[in-house]
Amino acid sequence: MARWISEETGGELFRIVPSEAYGEDFDACADRAKNELDNEIRPELSSHIDPEIMAKYDVIYIGFPVWWYDLPMPVWTFLEEYDLSGKTIIPFFSHNGSSNGANSVNRVSELAEGADVLADDALSLRGSSVAGSEEEVKDWAAGFVK
């Protein structure tokens, strides 16, 4: 989804990478994610954007999978790491049933202090339908470009 958005808008891609990978084992990933959420643990990230570079961006499309009806904790870390005030933040996410994003998009608004989060315009796609959704994603992304 992020790649299609960048193709459509000319935006730069940045991947939010936790220092410790969540791994391929679903149960282990789910347990860790639940524990982090319950305890509001912000996992360390291995990739960062220079604050001076971040300051030059006005619009950020932020993408994530819904995890435990909320925003994955590495995205909490990301949103709190930078001064996002004055920026426009446009969320997009995949899910496996929580089609309205549950609490994830609210969480973006809460954590992106001072930013204008376009919560009502967030793009929601079921994970299994992402692969066939290039046109939908690009049409959606184009709607924000003046």
Ligand X SMILES: Cc1cc2nc3c(=O)[nH]c(=O)nc-3n(C[C@H](O)[C@H](O)[C@H](O)COP(=O)(O)O)c2cc1C
DSSP secondary structure letters along 100-144: T-TTHHHHHHHHSTT-EE-GGG-EEEEGGGGGG-HHHHHHHHHTT
Cβ distance to ligand X smaller for residue 72 or 115: 72
Q: What is the smallest separation between the CB atom of 14 and ligand X, expressed in angstroms?
A: 19
Binding residues among 10-49 for ligand X as defined by CB under 6 A:
29-30, 33
- C-alpha distances out from residue 26 to 31, 44, 72, 133, Å: 9, 20, 14, 25
The residue whose two tokens read 């282990």 is 28
57 by DSSP, 3-state: which?
A: coil
Residue from 98, 108, 115, 117 in contact with ligand X (CB under 6 A): 98
Contact between 69 and ligand X by CB under 6 A: the answer reads yes
Contact between 95 and ligand X by CB under 6 A: the answer reads yes
Contact between 106 and ligand X by CB under 6 A: the answer reads no
Cβ distance to ligand X smaller for residue 10 or 132: 132
Contact between 132 and ligand X by CB under 6 A: the answer reads no
75 by DSSP, 3-state: which?
A: helix
Binding site for ligand X (CB under 6 A): 29-30, 33, 65-69, 94-98, 102, 127-128
